[in-house]
Amino acid sequence: MGVIPKEEQAVSLIPQRIVEGSYLNDDQQSGVVIGTELARKLGVTIGAKVVLMTQAVQPPDADAGEGDMQSTLLRVTGIFRTGIQAIDSHVIQVPLPEARAVLGVPGRVTQIAVLLEQESDSLMVAQGLRKQLAGVPVEILPWRESMPTLAQIFLLDDGFNYVMNGVVLAMVGLGILNTILMRVIERRYEFGLCSALGLRPAQLATMIIGESLALTTISLAFGMILGLSAQHYFATAGLDLRWFFHSSLPTALVFDPIIYSRLSLTRIVSSVGIVFLMATVISFYPALKAARTELPGALKVL
C-alpha cells in the first residue's frame, strides 16, 4: 500500500499502532512499515533490509499479458501491531513515490480518502465532489457504498441496539412496576389507616407517584455513578476485541479493534427522560390501587 505518510496519519489506524521504530516520513523514500506477524515470519527487525517483489501494472497500450516482475530494496522503519492477524501479517505501507515506481505507475493514485468531521455529511460531500469532478475519470463513493458490508454491519448494529434498548427499558419498566406494586400491596394496612384517618384518595395516589419518582431519582443517581464509572474505564482503557476478531476481518476493514466508549449528552438526557416518564406512567396503576384501598378490610392488623 503506497501512502503519503503525513496524510495517512489522519485516516489510518496503522500509524497509531507502531510498536517498534517509527512510522514513515516523507523524507524516507525507501522506508517500509510492516506488521508484527510479517516481521516475525521474515525474521526482520527495525533497520533490516527487505526486498519487495511485485508485478508491475500493465500499461493500457501494452500487449495483452501480465506486467514485468519488479523489485525494490526497502528498509524497515517501523513495525505495527493492530491485533488483527490478517492485517499484521499481510499489510505493508511504503511511501507513495516508491509504490508508484515499483508498480510502474508514475503520477497515479488508486484511492484518496477524505476524512469528514461528521459521518452524516458523507453523502452530501460525495454528491458535491461528483459535480465538481464531472468528466474526470474518478469514482467517488461515500464509505457506505465503498464498503457496503461494513455499512450493513453498522445498520444491523443500530437495529440490534434499538431492540436491546427496548428490551432493557421493558425490563426496567417491569422492575419499577414490580417494586412499586409490591410496596403498595405490602403497605395496604398503612394506606388503609391513613385513609381512615382522613387522607384523601388523590393524596394517597400523589404520595405513591411521588415516592416512585423519588425512588427513580435515587436509582438513577446510583445508576449514573456506576454507568459513568464504567464509561470512564472504557473511554480510557477501551474494550479490547482483538481476541475476538483475530484473523476474521478482511484487510480492507482497518479499524481499531480496541473500542473506546464515547459519552453522549443527548443519549444520557434521553435515557434519563425516558426512565422518568416511564416511572411516572407506570406508577399510575399502583397509585390508583392505593387510592382504592378498601376500608375497613385494609385496617385488619396481620
C-alpha cell at 198: 382522613
Q: How far apart are CA 19 and CA 41, in angstroms?
A: 17
- Rounded least distance, CB 178 to another protein, Å: 23
**Does 10 interact with another protein (rule: CB under 8 A)?**
no
- Rounded least distance, CB 154 to another protein, Å: 54
- Rounded least distance, CB 295 to another protein, Å: 4
- Rounded least distance, CB 214 to another protein, Å: 17
Q: How far apart are CA 231 and CA 263, in angstroms?
A: 7
Beta carbon nearer to another protein, 199 or 278: 199
- Rounded least distance, CB 208 to another protein, Å: 16
- Rounded least distance, CB 188 to another protein, Å: 13
- The 164-203 site mask, x for binding another protein (CB under 8 A), equals --------------------------x--x-xxxxxxxx-
Beta carbon nearer to another protein, 140 or 194: 194
Beta carbon nearer to another protein, 51 or 301: 301
Q: Which stretch binds another protein (CB under 8 A): 77-85, 124-132, 281-289, 293-301?
A: 293-301
- Rounded least distance, CB 289 to another protein, Å: 14
Q: Which residues pair with 2 in a beta bridge?
A: 94
Beta carbon nearer to another protein, 41 or 200: 200
Count residues near another protein (CB under 8 A).
Answer: 14
Let me know: does 58 contact 66? Beta carbons within 8 Å. yes
Beta carbon nearer to another protein, 5 or 286: 286
**Does 52 interact with another protein (rule: CB under 8 A)?**
no
Whether the upstream peptide bond of residue 296 has omega within 30° of 0, thus cis, is: yes
Beta carbon nearer to another protein, 153 or 202: 202
Q: How far apart are CA 15 and CA 1, in angstroms?
A: 13
Q: Which stretch binds another protein (CB under 8 A): 78-86, 219-227, 246-254, 291-299?
A: 291-299
- Rounded least distance, CB 181 to another protein, Å: 21
Beta carbon nearer to another protein, 195 or 283: 195
Return residues touching another protein (CB under 8 A).
190, 193, 195-202, 295-296, 299, 301
